[in-house]
Amino acid sequence: MKQYQMPTIDIPKFDLPTSIQAVLQEAEQRLGHRPKLQQQFLNCFPNTLETTTKLLDDESTFVLTGDIPAMWLRDSVEQVIQYVPFAKDDEQLQRILEGVIKRHMFYIQIDPYANAFNETANDWHWNADDVTDNSPWVWERKFELDSLCFSFRLAYHYWRTTGKSTIFDEQFKQALLTTLKVWRIEQQHEELSEYRFERNNGIMIDTLRRAGLGMPVNYTGMIWSGFRPSDDTCDFHYNIASNMFAVVTLKQMKEIAQYVYRDMALVAEISQLAEEVEHGIQLYGIVNHPKYGKMYAYETDGYGNHMLMDDAGTPSLLSIPYIGYTTADDPIYLNTRQFIFSKDNPYYYEGDKYSGLGSPHTPPDFIWHLSFSMQGLTAIDPVEIKQVIATMEATDADTGFMHEGFHKDDPAHYTRDWFAWSNSQFAQLVWKSLQDGLLDD
């Protein structure tokens, strides 16, 4: 494992919003017959608010990822998205979530290519020697298509839940326009993009080849991404799940442009881009596997090369229904899901007691708790959902929290003591299952 000397950020305590306290009280009562799961939920559900959330004087909200003192666009959304359903009548929670959205739009204007940011322009970086056009605000400048999608995912779902459109101010519109501009450029990365990234640490999944340009790609209509949601470099730079996420995001942007900004020219521009990306997915992102039939590839380069795998981080192929691209009973998705949970997927690990999806981001044979919670959130069969929760309940190494990855034969051997995204996604699954009546016996 890589070891880093991390700076620290002080997170002042505040009282939990009343709606969040109500959830904890209900869960404590309803999970009394499963004391370990009860305690895990009571620990994990408020973990983001209690340990990673900082309310700033400019009315924005900084959310660090946990054991790393930076705000990832992707992680921070997945840390707080579980709270959105409770925000409609809770002004304190609205302040927190609107602050996250405001902070995201501010960061996108600073650098739409960055994946993680500092609280202030303190010039902290994951690696100070990265060869890229860096900023003192930027913790890491790995261009990951999904990062920008997550920013708008939070805003859209917050708007649809609360009905509050005040978040769609001029800064929001400028961030939206900036995002569209970048995505247009990255459809033709080879010809138009000035983005470069190199990290000379000897770890090839941390850097882009060809002097920071990345491996060659052909035009497909899809949007190029330098890195995966795991922060590892893409092998082939059209990541299919991220492009699916972009299609969903563009449809959400279109609603905002139409019903909030009433800008029909912008609606037309967004619609055109969405159609081009979707066409690329359908043309280049589906393979006919001899064993599983039609299924989605993980990555492609547009030249006919494909990567067949899946990774534990979201967006993944496993998470396609979760991000809203298709339904959980879609035939191509079900074929893909069958592949994901098989030995044909190089990052599916089977142990003596536990089996699940890992990632090239962590050592071989490490299964991610994020993949279990996503499996549960996208499963159709209640038996599968309950089994997933039981597995997570049993593999916390008696810490009361979820982790990044654990060894398939020894849950006590795990990575990341404090990984708030994993805690939030676990809590999201447990709460959903409670509301569906799956945990009452």
Q: How many Å apart are CA 362 and CA 366, to the nearest integer?
A: 7
Cβ contacts of residue 371 below 8 Å, gap of 6+?
312, 316, 318, 356, 357, 358
Strand partners, 138: 117
pLDDT of 3 > 60? The answer is no
DSSP calls for 15-78: PPPHHHHHHHHHHHHHTTTSHHHHHHHHHHTTHHHHHTEEE-TTS-EEE--BSSSSEEHHHHHH
Q: Provide the 8-state DSSP code for 234.
A: P
Q: How many Å apart are CA 23 and CA 438, to the nearest integer?
A: 17
7: confidence class by pLDDT, cuts 50, 70, 90: confident
Task: Note the residue count of the chain.
Answer: 441
Q: What per-residue confidence (pLDDT) applies to 324?
A: 98
Q: What per-residue confidence (pLDDT) applies to 193?
A: 98
Q: How many Å apart are CA 206 and CA 202, to the nearest integer?
A: 8
Q: Contact, 82 vs 107, CB < 8 A?
A: no
Q: Provide the 8-state DSSP code for 349.
A: E
Q: What mean pLDDT is predicted for residues 201-217?
A: 96
Higher pLDDT, 6 or 70: 70
Q: Which of 48, 43, 99, 102 lies closest to 75 in space, CA to CA?
A: 48
Q: What mean pLDDT is predicted for residues 265-288?
A: 98
441: confidence class by pLDDT, cuts 50, 70, 90: confident
pLDDT digits (tens, 9 = 90+) for 122-144: 999 999 999 999 999 999 999 99
pLDDT digits (tens, 9 = 90+) for 353-393: 999 999 999 999 999 999 999 999 999 999 999 999 999 99
Q: How many Å apart are CA 386 and CA 66, to the nearest integer?
A: 28
Q: How many Å apart are CA 267 and CA 381, to the nearest integer?
A: 38
The pair of structure tokens assigned to 283 is 């043309």
pLDDT of 426 > 90? The answer is yes
Q: What per-residue confidence (pLDDT) applies to 5?
A: 65
pTM, 2 dp: 0.97
The pair of structure tokens assigned to 398 is 């008696």
Q: Residue 86 carries which side chain, given as an amino acid letter?
A: F
Q: What per-residue confidence (pLDDT) applies to 432?
A: 98
3-state secondary structure of 253: helix
Alpha helix stretches (DSSP H) within 163-298: 170-187, 189-192, 209-212, 240-259, 264-284
Cβ contacts of residue 244 below 8 Å, gap of 6+?
281, 315, 320, 323, 325
Q: What per-residue confidence (pLDDT) applies to 8?
A: 84
Q: Contact, 331 vs 202, CB < 8 A?
A: no
Higher pLDDT, 9 or 173: 173
pLDDT of 2 > 60? The answer is no
| H or E segment and range at residue 117 | strand 116-117
Residue reference for tokens 């993944």: 316
Q: Contact, 290 vs 278, CB < 8 A?
A: no
Q: Where are the beta strands (DSSP E) in 275-417?
A: 286-289, 293-296, 299-300, 306-307, 348-350, 355-357, 366-368, 405-407, 410-414
Cβ contacts of residue 437 below 8 Å, gap of 6+?
none
Where does residue 264 rank: exposed (0-12), middle (13-18), buried (19+ CB within 10 A)? exposed
pLDDT of 1 > 60? The answer is no
pLDDT of 17 > 60? The answer is yes
18-435 is a CATH 1.50.10.10 domain: yes
